[in-house]
């Protein structure tokens, strides 16, 4: 039976009951509009933990003023049915009050990586993510929490905050789930019109092409990236926020040759829709 909860006190009671029974707990935070990418996180959590809690909360703190907080897809009953089919143990749909009590005054400020990748165009985004994730982790204190590699910078920030706030929780990164044509699944893909949807897979295609040419160091990376950006624009992308190779752990930029595990990361617009993606690049 899947339980649904809205209040912190109910969540606390359930977690206490499970802890009393010696159960391990896995936690999967989401913003809803669930798809097979979310299901991959849930399934891994179910495999590794006795009990699994999935949260659905569209966190206002991580949206900028001109971003899509108001139009972000909300479909709670459909999502709850999806999670019941996935046999999760509890769905946490916190009220605003359960996370941000009236007059709240504490937020986190992530200094690291605040001037690279998505943080450039979304200045307080990772502060909002770090604030809500740390609230969830403190409320639940799971053994493991699951995050998609789809949001690679977010995964790095969450690992960082867990370490720096001394949370005894393992952060598990889960590989990206894609459509058959390579497009990474995302709740925001719903914003794409049919013609835009046909353009979208060329993001992954271009990344795979660039990635394959980084091997052997025949062309310097900055040159391949310039070519990649040009290709994206010619395929119908309207703006490329970034296309960069960075060290998988430190996120330091790699401009010439890949000597350690790295990621090729991209953010690009088709019309008003911003897509992000990344792939692993090995030396």
User: Which residue among 15, 184, 192, 203 contacts ligand AMP (CB under 6 A)?
Assistant: 184
User: Out of 15, 41, 156, 258, which residue is the one contacting ligand AMP (CB under 6 A)?
Assistant: 41
How far apart are CB 259 and ligand AMP at their closest, in Å? Answer: 27
Burial of 94 (0-12, 13-18, 19+ CB in 10 A): buried
- Judged by beta carbon, residue 187 or residue 202, the one nearer ligand AMP is 187
Reduced to 3 states (helix: H, G, I; strand: E, B; else coil), residue 84 is helix
Stretch that binds ligand AMP, among 94-102, 171-179, 194-202, 255-263 (CB under 6 A): 171-179
Q: How far apart are CA 107 and CA 132, in angstroms?
A: 9
Q: Confirm whether 125 is a catalytic residue.
A: no
Select the residue interacting with ligand AMP from 132, 185, 243, 276 (CB under 6 A): 185
Cβ proximity of 205 and 234 under 8 Å: no
148 binds ligand AMP (CB under 6 A): yes
Shortest CA distance to 279 belongs to which of 246, 240, 254? 246
Q: Which stretch binds ligand AMP (CB under 6 A): 38-46, 163-171, 190-198, 199-207?
A: 38-46
> Between the CA atoms of 26, 178, 199 and 152, what dihedral angle is there, to the nearest 10 degrees?
40
Tell me: does residue 150 bind ligand AMP (CB under 6 A): yes
| Closest residue to ligand AMP in the complex (CB) | 148
31 binds ligand AMP (CB under 6 A): yes
CA distances from 102 to 59, 63, 180, 281 (A): 15, 19, 45, 45
State the maximum Cα–Cα separation within the chain, in Å, rounded to a whole number. 59
Select the residue interacting with ligand AMP from 5, 54, 169, 177 (CB under 6 A): 177
Say whether residue 86 binds ligand AMP (CB under 6 A).
no
- Cβ burial, residue 27 (10 Å; 0-12/13-18/19+): buried
Taking the complex as a whole, how short is the minimal distance between the CB of residue 156 and ligand AMP, in angstroms? Answer: 12
Member of 25, 40, 45, 110 binding ligand AMP (CB under 6 A): 40
Residue 155 CB, nearest approach to ligand AMP (Å)? 7
Of the candidates 38, 111, 138, 272, the residue annotated as catalytic is: 38
Least separation in angstroms between residue 40's CB and ligand AMP is 5
How far apart (Å, rounded) are the C-alpha atoms in residues 47 and 36? 16
Closest by CA position to 31, among listed 41, 44, 17: 41
Kindly identify the residues of this chain, within the stretch 48-67, that bind ligand AMP according to CB under 6 A: none
Of residues 26, 37, 128, 142, which one binds ligand AMP by CB under 6 A?
A: 37
Which CA distances in Å does 149 have to 100, 114, 145? 27, 19, 13
Q: From the CB of residue 268, how many other CB atoms can be counted at a distance below 10 Å? A: 25
Residues facing 267 on adjacent strands: 242, 276
Residue of 89, 143, 151, 196 that binds ligand AMP (CB under 6 A): 151
Pairing mode of beta strands 262-270, 239-247: antiparallel
Cβ contact 95:10 at 8 Å: no
- Tell whether residue 38 is a contact of ligand AMP (CB under 6 A): yes
For the annotated catalytic residues, the residue numbers are 38
Residues that bind ligand AMP (CB under 6 A): 30-31, 37-38, 40-41, 147-148, 150-151, 174, 176-177, 184-187
């Amino acid at each position: 039976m899947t339980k649904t909860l809205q209040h912190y006190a109910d969540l606390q009671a359930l977690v206490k009951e499970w802890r009393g029974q010696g159960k391990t707990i896995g936690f999967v935070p989401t913003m809803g509009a669930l798809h097979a990418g979310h299901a991959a996180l849930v399934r891994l959590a179910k495999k590794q933990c006795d009990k699994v809690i999935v949260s659905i909360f569209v966190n206002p703190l991580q949206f900028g003023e001109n971003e899509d907080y108001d139009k972000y897809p909300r479909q709670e009953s459909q999502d709850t049915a999806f999670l019941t089919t996935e046999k999760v143990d509890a769905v946490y749909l916190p009220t605003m009050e359960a996370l941000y009590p009236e007059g709240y005054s504490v937020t986190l400020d992530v200094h690291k990586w605040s001037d690279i990748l998505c943080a450039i165009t979304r200045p307080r985004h990772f502060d909002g993510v770090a604030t809500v994730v740390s609230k969830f982790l403190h409320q639940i204190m799971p053994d493991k929490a699951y995050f998609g590699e789809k949001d690679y910078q977010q995964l790095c920030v969450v690992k960082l905050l867990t370490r720096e706030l001394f949370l005894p929780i393992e952060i598990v990164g889960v590989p990206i789930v894609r459509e058959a044509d390579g497009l990474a699944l995302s709740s925001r893909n719903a914003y794409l019109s049919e013609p835009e949807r046909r353009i979208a897979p060329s993001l992954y295609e271009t990344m795979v092409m660039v990635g394959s040419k980084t091997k052997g160091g025949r062309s310097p990376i900055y040159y391949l990236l310039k070519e990649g950006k040009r290709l994206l624009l010619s395929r119908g992308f309207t703006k490329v926020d970034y296309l960069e190779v960075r060290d998988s752990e430190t996120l330091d930029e790699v401009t010439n040759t890949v000597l350690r595990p790295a990621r090729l990361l991209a953010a690009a617009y088709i019309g008003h829709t911003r897509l992000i993606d990344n792939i692993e690049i090995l030396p």
